[in-house]
Structure 1
Amino acid sequence: MNTQNEIVFFTGTQTKDTEKGIFRCTLNPLDGSMRIVSSTDGIENSTYLVVNSIGDRLYAVSEKSDGEVFVYVIDNKTGELHLLDRKPTQGADPCYISLSSDGQFVFVSNYSGGNVNVFRIGDNGTLEEKSCMITHSGHSVNPDRQESPHPHSIFPDPSGKFVLVCDLGIDQVVVYRLEEGELVKHHEVDLPPGAGPRHFDFHPTGKWAYCANELNNEITVFTYDDKTADLHTIQSISTLPDDYNEGVSYPADIHVSSCGRFLYASNRGHDSIVQYDIDLDTGNLTAVDWQSTQGEYPRNFTIVEGGYVLVANHKTGNVVSYFMDSETGRLTATGCELELPIPMCVQPLSV
């Protein structure tokens, strides 16, 4: 189904299980235009997706009160997804899913449940019973958003030895050692009270890490030691322009370019993608540009091969493409968009 060298990506949406929920789409690298190839129903609120390294399995969370993880076989001849497995997370509102670097484990964060899961992956990509479940405790200063733990993302570090969890509810990045499928508490990193850590990304060199804080509209920059998993704050910088005073805004997603020179984050409310230049000597950030997302409430975005960025606008139901200049990192809207029901996550096929 991949014609004219189109780039395949999947979009997860906030829809009912009787409606189409996950869409297989393609991006034309010549002009940034997009189209829907196929769609899948049977999953409610498929708000975050991840594809394995060889591109034949897709893992998705079902963000609901009785959360689940779904596993699909990716049929690259027909463009369709075939349900292979599903398991309960025993936590409410799972909102993030990732894979270990060796492809042996699935990590899930349950936002309302306050817990994180590890599932071992079987030989054919199915999920074995949970190998680990950890429940966080505590709260922080925002009574409306931080009354209890809210783990918002979970992901392995570049070494594959550690797993990090951004917990918005307790203002911590919690670091675990991954030991034969078990998460063993290593240490916690405190963020400023009311920061609300949400999403995280590492620099390609592994020397620095970046955290998008939902509640204080800042990016925290850390140095990182992959032998000890020590994180040391070296900078905090706003995601918003100095003159923004038009209402509430929340950063959502964050990604470092593969070249390591640029970092991008999405702002819901300001409805923009902010670009930072990265100092390759220090890891520090300088904000250089804000681009409108051509829609409202950009929850998630991704950088794809061929120099494009795709942004999912939650409230306006559109995925928008941008050309990314390889020299400056600047984003330019292609003028192309794809209408989808409540898009929440865009995930490229990894091969």
Structure 2
Amino acid sequence: MLKFYIGIICMLLSGCIFAQNTKIEKFYVGTFTSEGAEGIYLCNFDSATGEIALTKTFKGIDNPSFLKISPDKNFLYAVTRPQEKIEESGGYLQAYKIEKDGSLKFINKQVSNGSDPCHVDVSPDGKFVAIATYGSGTTSLYQVTENGGINSAASTIVNTGSGLTSRQKAPHAHSIKFSKNGKQVFSADLGTDKLNIFDLKKSKLVPAKQPFVKLTPGAGPRHFAFHPHANIIYVINELNSTVYVLEKQGKNWEVVQSVLTIPENFSGENYCADIHVSADGKFVYGSNRGHNSIVVFKTDPLTKQLEFITTVSTRGDWPRNFTLSPDGKFLLAANQRTGNIVVFKIEKNTGIPEFSGNEIKLPAPVCLEFL
């Protein structure tokens, strides 16, 4: 009988330990419905094992190509592209309330003031949402209402200029982010080779005293990420497969380093896409479409400049987007063309992602956003 009770106690203890080691996170998947997806997907992620499970599908949303959750985790904002021309400007910014179970409840939408909206961000205080449109090269700012909805755009900036290559005959705003203090907005324009800088004044976007950082002609800046502990911005360039390191020197941002994202002996076509920095600032990751890999960089402890470590196959085709898990232990890569999201465990000391054995098949995944 004593052995029986000891066995029961052991089972209960092991169950408690397992429960403590298992934490289920939720993340949303933005997609291209024009490529076979059904809308926005909600998945569970086991932060102990790296396993993924699809839990809900929110249908009837046209090409929700990029998603962003508010800082208080109560609202989700999506930029969408109708498959047919039903809006003259080309798309929408849509607001959703996030229910307790992760379900999305539509609040309202506003026009995107430009075709092919491709990126969205929320201010640190949750009072503003900003978007970028690739087709028209515009950036727009929206005020958030008390219920999490959005008013019509308070201001829209129309970029001007062109670049060196056939992809750069016009402006193409490809990403937008608020500064860490929320007082400025940065936007990468692939068409003009600029990282544009705006001040947030009286609820409008106003070009800053340094209105932009000019990058190498033909670079094609796409996405960028801030270093968490330094005045450093990492810009990933789609057209020349590089990451530029920008440093705040005095009052201006300056390019201080350029590094390749692919091995020097790679001879195929490659188009960079997404970029993220680890929470401790020690590693920077970028995605290569064509080479189909995640590039891994180590940051210098003092200068925060980059040292190329390696590239890791994403085990699929066209990794348009990827993300790091909230605890920083996993990297999830979304392969658009092969329709799979692959989970990698990040080796703590080297920062190198290693395939966890887990993945999920979902059509045309193009954005991953953890709740």
| TM-score under structure 1 length normalisation | 0.94
Q: Distance in 2 between matches of 1:43 and 1:180?
A: 32
Q: Distance in 2 between matches of 1:201 and 1:16?
A: 28
Aligned with 2:271 (options 227, 240, 250): 250
The 3-state SS of whatever aligns with 2:152 is strand
1:76 shift after superposition: 2.0
Structure 1 segments, 4+ long, off by >2 Å, are 16-20
1:16 shift after superposition: 4.7
1:20 shift after superposition: 2.2
1:91 shift after superposition: 0.8
1:90 shift after superposition: 2.0
Deviates more, 1:320-329 or 1:261-270: 320-329
Q: Counterparts of 1:96-111 in structure 2 under 5 Å? A: 96-111=119-134
Please state which structure has a larger fraction of its residues in helix.
Answer: 2
8 Å CA contact retained: 2:289, 2:318: yes
Q: Distance in 2 between matches of 1:126 and 1:180?
A: 19
8 Å CA contact retained: 1:17, 1:43: no
Q: Distance in 1 between matches of 2:99 and 2:272?
A: 34
What residue in structure 2 maps to residue 69 of structure 1? 93
8 Å CA contact retained: 2:71, 2:125: no
Aligned with 1:304 (options 290, 301, 325): 325
Match for 1:145: what amino acid? R
Q: Distance in 2 between matches of 1:188 and 1:305?
A: 31
1:113-154 CA deviation, whole Å, 9 max, x = no partner? 111110000011000121111101110111x21000000001
Structure 1: unaligned runs, 5 residues or longer? none
1:83-124 CA deviation, whole Å, 9 max, x = no partner? 111111121000000011111100000100111110000011
1:264 is aligned to 2:285: yes
What residue in structure 1 maps to residue 115 of structure 2? 92
Q: Counterparts of 1:1-351 in structure 2 under 5 Å? A: 4-16=22-34, 20-64=38-82, 66-77=90-101, 79-142=102-165, 144-186=166-208, 187-224=211-248, 228=251, 230-245=252-267, 247-306=268-327, 307-349=329-371
8 Å CA contact retained: 2:52, 2:358: yes
The 3-state SS of whatever aligns with 2:168 is coil
1:17 shift after superposition: 11
**Larger CA Rg, structure 1 vs 2:** 2
| TM-score under structure 2 length normalisation | 0.89
Q: Distance in 2 between matches of 1:326 and 1:37?
A: 30
1:335 shift after superposition: 1.2
**How many residues are treated as equivalent by the alignment?**
342
1:74 shift after superposition: 1.1
The 3-state SS of whatever aligns with 1:173 is strand
Match for 1:223: what amino acid? E
8 Å CA contact retained: 2:72, 2:126: no
8 Å CA contact retained: 1:206, 1:224: no
8 Å CA contact retained: 1:19, 1:42: no
Give me the CA root mean square deviation: 1.6
The 3-state SS of whatever aligns with 1:155 is strand
Identity %: 36
